[in-house]
Amino acid sequence: MKNKLLLPLILSLSQTLAAAEDCDYAADLLYEAYSLRHQSHAFERQKALVESAVENCPEMPEAQNYYGSLLEKQGNYTQAIVHYKKAIALRPDFSEAWYGLGETYHKQGRFPLSLEAHLHACQTDSDSKKRVKALLEDNRYTVTEKGKIIDRESLLVLYDKQRQKAIDQMLSDCDMGRLGRVNPAAVFRNFQFAPRKADLEPGSERQLEEIVAALMNLPNRVIKIHGHTDTQPFKDAPLADSDRLNLELSEQRADTIARALKIRFILTMPKCVVLKAEICC
């Protein structure tokens, strides 16, 4: 029995020693890469060193974070996010990786996710705290401008109650609770209508699909769709009539969105979802 156990023990010990040597080598590679950080012409060399460090010691959070930062610098945001998340999985309190993740989301225009990531570093990273303040100003993180798309992951930050509670707690922990709680509503300025019309203009399909995809991950609930209308008065109409006509148009546009989402829910999944159109105050 002892002889049978001896070989696995030796192999395990030798693998542990080899892994330690690999991580020592990875640390040397990171040190060399860091020494090149101010040499713009050496970027590819720096990246190759860090990539090798990740390959030799994937369980080193510093290597994953460094590689994420280089990918972010190159504009490869999708892969940068992958490596920032790996760094965070290895060290959940790694504020530098949370900052990098938050900035990458911000560059993608995924502001709810950026807010959530930066809040994880808010207590220890002053730059993350500044970013949180900027995103909270006028609820900027909830707004999607014309020509942009807010994806399902970002919408879930706003709509998922557990994530809302976690964000509110992080705001409090960062001494920013006075700035308010997370606003569980999204402002879709990317839904466009022709003047005085209630029909959605082309190009809204993808945003509708992202909304449906997000809501499919949530429990059944009433979804409130606020009105959408023009602010300018109706031409050749008294002010009182203009206000009434704008209110009617707002209700019609809210109904248009509700119907479009209902159709997509029915086609995607026969699930009980109540869509309530109401007028924005």
What per-residue confidence (pLDDT) applies to 229? Answer: 64
The H or E element containing residue 276 is strand 274-277
Looking at the structure of the chain, the number of domains it has is: 1
Looking at residue 221, its pLDDT comes to 62
Q: 5 in a domain, yes or no?
A: no
Give a yes or no: residue 184 inside a domain. no
**Is residue 278 in a domain?**
yes
Asked, for residue 222, whether it belongs to a domain, the answer is yes
Whether residue 252 is contained in a domain is answered as yes
The answer to whether residue 48 sits within a structural domain is no
Strand pairing report for 143-144 and 187-188? parallel
Answer whether residue 20 is part of any domain.
Answer: no
Residues 6+ apart with CB under 8 A from 105: 81, 111, 113, 114, 117
The pair of structure tokens assigned to 185 is: 């509503």
User: pLDDT over 90 for what percent of the chain?
Assistant: 50
- Predicted confidence at residue 10, as pLDDT, reads 47
Output the DSSP codes for 58-85.
TT-HHHHHHHHHHHHHHT-HHHHHHHHH
Q: pLDDT below 70 — which residues of the chain?
A: 1-20, 179-180, 220-222, 227-231, 266-281
pLDDT more than 70, % of the chain: 83
Predicted confidence at residue 83, as pLDDT, reads 98
**Confidence (pLDDT) at 231:** 67
**Domain range for residue 204?**
191-281
> Average per-residue pLDDT in the chain?
84
Q: What is the pLDDT of residues 8-64, one digit of tens each?
A: 444 444 444 445 678 889 999 999 999 998 888 899 999 999 999 999 999 999 999
Structure tokens at 16: 């542990």
Tell me what pLDDT residue 228 has: 66
Q: Which two tokens stand for residue 167?
A: 């964000």
Residue 267: CATH number of its domain:
3.30.1330.60
Q: Tell me the two tokens of residue 281.
A: 């105050």
Output phi, psi for 229, to 5 deg: -155, 170
Label residues 257-275 b or e (16+ Cβ within 10 Å = b): bbebbeebbeeeeeeebeb
At 40 the pLDDT is 81
Q: Going by DSSP bridges, is the β-strand pair 187-188/222-225 parallel, antiparallel, or unpaired?
A: unpaired
Q: What is the distance between the alpha carbons of residues 14 and 205, in angstroms, rounded to a whole number?
A: 57
Indicate the burial class of 248 (C-beta count within 10 angstroms; 0-12, 13-18, 19 or more): middle
What pLDDT is attached to residue 217? 85
Is residue 234 included in any domain, yes or no? Answer: yes
- Name the residue among 145, 132, 123, 66 with its Cα closest to residue 103: 132
